[in-house]
Structure 1
């Protein structure tokens, strides 16, 4: 059809051109050659004009088709984008909803497990007390024998790496001269009561520098040295859980030593003497090395739980130890997000220029700090936050107003809000009852620690295989 139309147009053009030539010859009397030339010129002009108009029309049609195709492609792209968004939403929403439905079940299971565990421990303790009471009815009263203990009262050290609520050694150990009688049932009951009273009491905090002025104990010092040389320093972990889910968020690393009789000695008993003997850097070095081993094991199991490691202020200014210590943590800076160094408030308050420079060096590597054993609410916590402190530990009985009045212009219940303004997370420790948990939840506390959740438990020996790096050991010695 298009060819017929084109042929008809060209026929019309030829007729018009011939007609114009005939008019020129017969009407105007122009020569035939001139008329033919004008006829051909007119025919070519009309043909060229027709081709130009035809091409422009075709280009317009092609442009319209291309525009329609582009519009359809844009619609297809929009549909594909909407489909991708829906698929992404489905992939994100389904796991989140599933997790939201499962998390409450896990939280309830953990609570039930902790309650069952507490009931079992309570029943076991009641059975022990009943057996001891029955034994007391049939045993004669013990003879009065003078007892000379190694120390009358366990000293309290500010660099104590386990908090004040760690279990106390029930009986004083005989490391010197003296007569010690075998403890009977009365002694076990009174020892347990004394341990509970000792945990409940709050003695004034003293820095490790002051404690070094106390009376030296050569026997205990030798026991500490033997434990370090014979690898009888054990690592215990106590969990720090989130509230109200009670999911483990951190662990606190605590140290214990064993003497030749495999008797466990608590930090509250040996840290003062270790400070006087300048052995704290060696203990901190060993504790840090084993903490890195624990973090490796946790990361291999895809667990994101961090670790609180207590170090003393003396470690920060030890010229022979701290350079090796800093080099060791620099080689393990990948654990900076999971490793938190903890100091007591008394040690932080007495830090000088050298200690602050050491803190700044650790902070530059990405490590964070925590302050514990807080007894003074007047401290400048904003300055602590500027120096890299991100956590603060406060006793449960103090934040709930159960203990002695605190020094400061802020009520203990508002202490968490004060820390939150400076970017410091409050951790309530020494939690020992469910009633305390309920009161702490009313204060919107997010993390807690204490014997209610779990006592410190030893780390398996296979996790702690190996010794500290040679450079760090040589620096510590």
Structure 2
């Protein structure tokens, strides 16, 4: 096509030159030689102009092609740079991700090892107690003698001990009074003083504890206890999370973890349904164990996504004095003390008010590791929150209706609307919960509340199974006798 156009242009130039020569000869009367010379010069000029225009057009087209090529090369360079960045990121992230996936397994294996060790020590101590009890067991009663219970043991007579008449009588054995703290730890069992009467007092502790355990079991709910056992043994325990949001932005700042059980029909049981029986039957430590492990799994997932959202984990104060649960729990949090900034242990105000020396020592051990605490279910605003702040409590949860005056609470000399300022003075953050309506939010904003929790923002939702993949099934603790004895003496509900 280009060659044909060139030939056509050349013919046109020739025709134009011949026409110009004819005009010069016939119209202007110029000599033929001069007319031919002028026509040839005119033809050469047209050819030169055509060549210049053609070269300029070709040069422009070549320049456009070079520009497009340079753009394509720059795009390729950018893609290569992105690919190099991704390869570098993969080389740096693969070892870190592998370590993050393997470290939890090592930590969980260590915790399981410590639990097995504690179980073996507890069994050894129990066997030693049984052997000691058998060693001091009295001879069988003769026929015709009356049978005495634990509270009506008769005084020793001289004849029963082979003493001669006139000898000094042996004093009667002291009657045993119910002990206030029947839960005796293996490493803290008091050394019995000398004397057979005092020695029998300590050796009969297992018998009294067994009697209390049987009494507590008889007062419980066998059907609910069976549901709890079946849910724990068949892994029908679910972890639900409810967000704690900031106001007025309503951005998620924290999560609170709840434990839910499913019965054999698949119905979901809330904590207020099964917790009383779990405390009575001594299963609360095992439930807290599962809640802790699964909460740590969720925290690991959040931190792996560079999210520093903290999580509130509800615990029972009974777990703080459980000799089977708490040592392994303490070893586990020591191995995972990097989560101290994102894991908050929460207790109810009722539990905190009834904490004794052992519970407070357990709290101090956790506070020394950097963990913080939260108090939930506040109904008494006259509590000594200053001492709680000194023990590591950094958060306090109050029903929003108490705060805005829709419910009456025991608040002493401080108005509920000023309760947040009082807590802030001690370094404690107030979190109103049970927020259900927008009108409650508006009244909370008038009180300069920065955090809130409730079904208005989101109800508790179950955690996906893939998030909890790899969470170990907590070892079945010795929840029978010792946990039952603690629950018998200290029956109180735990937050969940």
* TM class, shorter-length: 0.5 to 0.7
SS where residue 464 of structure 1 aligns? coil
In structure 2, C-alpha distance between the alignment counterparts of 1:385 and 1:405, rounded to whole Å: 21
Question: Does the 8 Å contact 1:406/1:412 carry over to 2?
Answer: no
Asked whether the equivalents of residues 274 and 280 of structure 1 are also in contact (C-alpha less than 8 Å), the reply is yes
RMSD: 1.7
Matched, 1:457 2:479: no
| Match of residue 380, structure 1, among 381, 384, 387 | 384
2:221 is matched with: 217
By how many angstroms is 1:213 displaced? 9.4
Match of 1:270 in 2: 274
Offset from partner CA, 1:112-157 (integer Å, 9 cap, x none): xxxxxxxxxxxxxxxxxxxxxxxxxxxxxxxxxxxxxxxxxxxxxx
**Cα distance, 1:438 vs. partner?**
1.1
Structure 1 Cα separation of the partners of residues 456 and 219 of structure 2? 36
Q: Distance in 1 between matches of 2:476 and 2:365?
A: 21
1:465 Cα deviation (Å)?
1.9
1:232 to 215, 218, 236: 236
Aligned in 2, Cα 1:405/1:392: closer, same or farther, shift over 3 Å? closer
- The secondary structure found in structure 2 opposite 1:378 is coil
Q: Deviations over 1:185-231 (max 9, x none)?
A: xxxxxxxxxxxxxxxxxxxxxxxxxxx79941111101101111111
Answer whether contact 1:371 1:392 (CA < 8 A) is retained. Answer: yes
User: How do 1:101-140 residues align onto structure 2 when only pairs under 5 Å count?
Assistant: none
- Preserved contact between residue 297 and residue 471 of structure 2 (Cα < 8 Å): no
Counterparts of 2:218 and 2:362 in 1: how far apart (Å)?
Answer: 27
Which residue matches 1:361? 365
Q: Which residue of 1 aligns with 2:429?
A: 425
Give a deviation string over 1:279-333, Cα, whole Å, max 9, x none: 0000000000000000011111111111000000100000111000111111111
The separation in 2 between residues aligned to 1:450 and 1:295, in whole angstroms, is 21
Task: Find the counterpart in structure 2 of residue 47 from structure 1.
Answer: none
Equivalent pairs, count: 265
| Cα contact 2:435–2:441 (8 A) shared by 1 | yes
Deviation digits for residues 149-175 of structure 1 (CA, Å, limit 9, x no counterpart):
xxxxxxxxxxxxxxxxxxxxxxxxxxx
Separation in structure 1 between the aligned mates of residue 298 and residue 365 of structure 2, nearest angstrom: 24
Aligned to 1:339: 343
Distance in 2, matches of 1:359 and 1:316, equals 8
The 1-side partners of 2:242 and 2:415 are apart by: 28
The answer as to whether partners of 1:285 and 1:476 remain within 8 angstroms in 2 is no
Residue 423 of structure 1 aligns to a residue in which SS?
coil
Q: 1:280 aligns with which of 271, 279, 284?
A: 284
Q: Which residue of 2 aligns with 1:261?
A: 265
8 Å contact kept, 1:243–1:446: yes
Is 1:253–1:291's contact at 8 Å kept on the other side of the alignment?
yes
* C-alpha displacement of 1:406: 2.7
Instruction: Answer whether contact 1:253 1:310 (CA < 8 A) is retained.
Output: yes
Is contact 1:235-1:290 (8 Å) kept? yes
Tell me the SS of whatever aligns to 2:467.
helix
d(CA) in 1 for partners of 2:231, 2:217: 23
For 1:407 and 1:357, locate their aligned partners in 2 and report how far apart those are by CA, in whole Å.
29
The residue aligned with 2:397 is: 393
1:252 counterpart residue number:
256
Alpha-carbon distance in structure 1 between the residues aligned to 2:332 and 2:350: 26
**1:444 equivalent in alignment to 2:462:** no
Residue 263 of structure 2 contacts residue 269 of structure 2 at CA under 8 Å; is this kept in 1? yes
Q: Distance in 2 between matches of 1:464 and 1:227?
A: 17
* Structure 2: gaps spanning 5 or more residues: 1-215, 481-496
Q: How far apart are residue 467 of structure 1 and its match?
A: 4.0
Residues 345, 214 of structure 1: alpha-carbon distance in 2 compared, 3 angstrom cutoff: farther
Instruction: Quote the Cα distance in structure 2 between the aligned partners of 1:327 and 1:317.
Output: 15
SS in structure 1 at match of 2:466: helix
Higher relative contact order at CA 8 Å, sep ≥6: structure 1 or structure 2? 2
- Counterpart Cα distance in 2 of 1:476 and 1:252: 26
CA distance in 1, matches of 2:461, 2:273: 18
Q: Distance in 2 between matches of 1:214 and 1:438?
A: 49
Whole-Å separation in 1 of the counterparts to 2:473 and 2:429:
33
Q: 1:404: Cα distance to partner?
A: 2.3
Which TM-score applies when normalising by structure 2?
0.52
5 Å-filtered alignment, 1:127-166, equals none
* Aligned counterparts of 1:425 and 1:285: Cα–Cα separation in 2: 27
Asked if the contact 1:344–1:374 (Cα under 8 Å) also holds between the matched residues in 2, the reply is yes
